[in-house]
Amino acid sequence: MEIIKTDEAFREAVASTAPITVAVFKTTWCPDCHYIEPFMPDIEQKYADSIHFIQIDRDELPDLCGELNILGIPSFIAFQNNRELVRFVNKLRKSREEIEQFLDRALQVAGALNSSQA
C-alpha cells in the first residue's frame, strides 16, 4: 500500500484513470485501524490487478480529511480520474467481508461508468 504524506501526492494518486484508486484513511492510535492490518495485505493482493491502494493518516493530513468529510476511521473511498466513485465511511469496525464487498462495489461502479462513457 502506498503511503501518502501530502495533499499533492493524494491528488496525483486519485487522478489515475485505471486502475481505480482506493484511499484508506487511518491513524496510529485507532484500534479498529489495527484490527484490519492483518488481512489488508491479502486483500491488496487479491485486488492487485484492478485496484491501487493508498493510505492516509488522518492526523497527518487533517485539512484534506476535513475536505473529504472523513470522520470515522478506518474509512475507504474509491476514486477514478479525480472522481469519487463510492465510499465506505463510518465509525464502526470493518470486517474483511465488508471491505471486500465495498471493493467489489467500487469495481462495479467504475465498470458501469466506463461502459457508459465508451
pLDDT at 114: 74
Domain ranges of the chain: 2-117
Grouping H, G, I as helix, E, B as strand and the rest as coil, residue 4 is: strand
The phi, psi pair for 87, rounded to 5°, reads -135, 155
Answer yes or no: are the C-beta atoms of 69 and 23 closer than 8 Å. no
pLDDT tens-place string over residues 92-110: 789 999 999 999 999 999 8
- Which pLDDT value is given to residue 91? 74
Reply yes or no on whether the pLDDT at 112 is more than 90: no
Q: Which residue has 471486500 as its cell numbers?
A: 100
pLDDT digits (tens, 9 = 90+) for 52-87: 999 999 999 999 999 999 988 999 999 999 999 999
Q: What is the pLDDT of residue 14?
A: 93
CATH number of 2-117: 3.40.30.10
Q: Would you say 25 and 56 are in contact if contact means Cβ atoms under 8 Å apart?
A: yes
Of the chain, the percentage scoring pLDDT greater than 70 comes to 97
Tell me the whole-structure pTM to 2 decimals.
0.92
Report, in this order, helix, strand and coil percent for the chain, each rounded to 5. 40, 25, 35
Q: Looking at residue 117, what is its pLDDT? A: 65
Per-residue confidence at 111, pLDDT binned at 50, 70, 90?
confident
- What is the distance between the terminal CA atoms of the chain, rounded to a whole angstrom? 30
